[in-house]
Structure 1
Amino acid sequence: MNDLLDWILDTVQSVDPVLRTLLAGIGILLETSVLIGLVVPGDTIVLVASTAVEGPVEYLALALTVIIGALIGESIGFALGRWFGPHIVHSRLGRRIGEDHWRRAQLYLDRRGGPAIFISRFLPVLHSLVPLIVGMSTMSYRRFLAWTAPACVIWSFAYTTVGWLAADGYRELSRDLHWAGYLFVAVIALFLVGVWGVKKLLERSEAKHLSLDEPRPGTTEGPDAAASDPSIDDVTR
């Protein structure tokens, strides 16, 4: 296991650090972009790139590049929604995504307002659709950025930190432990299981807001909910 893992890590590390960092930034930019983000494994690209990090400087450079890439991708989605939103939704690609996904993203934003932007960054499919839906709303870009930036920072540091520390720890232990490779794989697997668990917990806790069911008469939901929930007022700012 150690020999195979050494070969994989050395191969990744042989890529020029600047190029490797830029590829990670581009990967997450595409992963957070509408439509493209549904097929680009940006999280995997970032995790692999982080295993090649050597030292705090490279680590910070990678983390910051990934944050910037994520924010650019989210901003592109917002801009496309502001300028071409309905055309994209009703395009051939938009129809392939499915009406239910678009409707869920719209209802979620209507019901939760700003928090929907933050939480959706950690949810599959929605993380690519919500920025475009926000762009189609009356929310200002400044308010959108205020909600999405913290989520991008958390996501970036989580992936880059785990990849860097796991690979660095493996390189130290592999000199003396023949099973260090299994430990590395276990750490990465536990992290990915943890990420999956967090997504499931969020989906469960937000199930009511993610539902496609229409609100019952007399309930406050959608644009009218802003009067009873201050956070939803962010959609109109």
Structure 2
Amino acid sequence: MTTLVALSSQLAVNPLDAQSLLAAFGVAGVGAVMFAETGLLIGFFLPGDSLLFTAGLLCTGSGRSGVHLSLVPLLAAAVLGALAGAQCGYLIGRRAGGSLLARSRSRRLHDGARRAEELLARYGHAKAIVLARFVPVVRTVLNPLAGALEVPVRVFTLWQAVGGVVWSVGLTLAGYALGSSIPDVDRYLLPIVALIVVVSLLPLAAELLRARKAAAAKEVRR
């Protein structure tokens, strides 16, 4: 009976809700979501940023949700899922080319692909691969796109590892730090998650602004 209740609670999980995912699957769910969001095109809708932050927060045991995670296993699962997912996405793109993306009817996915192509063209492989980690949807499509465009394996592996570690560990520890300093912080979770989404877009916005200023300066010199 207990097994049936546990199974029914997992089947009722909301994949768009970080707390629901964590309550149902714990640390293993974090690794699985990181892999799916960064390695499989069908995972573009998953809440990567908010999941990492919320998971870090729940490691402190200061919330009222009743879910408590261990920090070290959580960090290991997050990093492993993020790195393995990106490498898998790259290999899929390398073998299948752009055909998988071309078959998709998701406008959001195609918008992400366009932005990923802009990143690669404007900033080069290394910077684009790192920046993409912090932009929802773009981090999903850039990996297979890099494979399809035949970005060198060593270059991709190095910079996806750098970006993956900084992104996954950084957001998880940010949640842990906030949860350690504010009691019952999960009551403010929704506005905090919204802030995280905004902050995650800041590196890309800063680079775009810098590029526009550089382009404007070139036009003035002409």
Tell me whether the two structures share a fold, i.e. TM-score over 0.5.
Answer: yes
Aligned match of 1:86: 98
Q: Distance in 2 between matches of 1:23 and 1:33?
A: 15
The answer to whether residue 112 in structure 2 is matched with residue 108 in structure 1 is no
Cα 1:204–1:29 change in 2 (3 A) is: same
Which residue type is aligned with residue 193 of structure 1?
L
Deviation (angstroms), 1:96: 4.1
Aligned length: 187
Deviation (angstroms), 1:137: 1.9
Larger Rg: 1
Tell me if structure 2 keeps the 8 A contact 1:25–1:65.
yes
Which residue type is aligned with residue 91 of structure 2?
A
Q: Secondary structure at the match of 2:85?
A: helix
Aligned match of 2:79: 67
Note the aligned Cα RMSD (angstroms).
Answer: 3.5
- Deviation track 1:48-79 (CA, whole Å, cap 9, x = no partner) reads 33233269x93122112101100111112101
Spell out the pairing of 1:1-237 with structure 2 (5 A cutoff): 20-53=26-59, 58-91=70-103, 93=104, 96-97=107-108, 99-113=110-124, 114-170=126-182, 180-181=183-184, 185=187, 189=191, 193=195, 196-206=198-208
Cα 1:144–1:94 change in 2 (3 A) is: farther
Q: Distance in 1 between matches of 2:30 and 2:209?
A: 32
Q: Distance in 2 between matches of 1:135 and 1:209?
A: 25
Cα 1:188–1:146 change in 2 (3 A) is: farther
Structure 1: gaps of 5 or more residues: 1-10, 171-179, 220-237
**Normalized against structure 2, the TM-score is what?**
0.68
Extract structure 1 runs of 4+ deviating beyond 6 A.
Answer: none
- Deviation track 1:19-58 (CA, whole Å, cap 9, x = no partner) reads 5211111111112134223211122333333233269x93
Q: Distance in 2 between matches of 1:94 and 1:141?
A: 29
- Deviation track 1:118-176 (CA, whole Å, cap 9, x = no partner) reads 11111232111111111012322221011111111111122221322333444xxxxxx
Tell me if structure 2 keeps the 8 A contact 1:30–1:42.
no
Structure 2: gaps of 5 or more residues: 1-18, 62-68
| Aligned-residue identity in percent | 25
**Normalized against structure 1, the TM-score is what?**
0.64
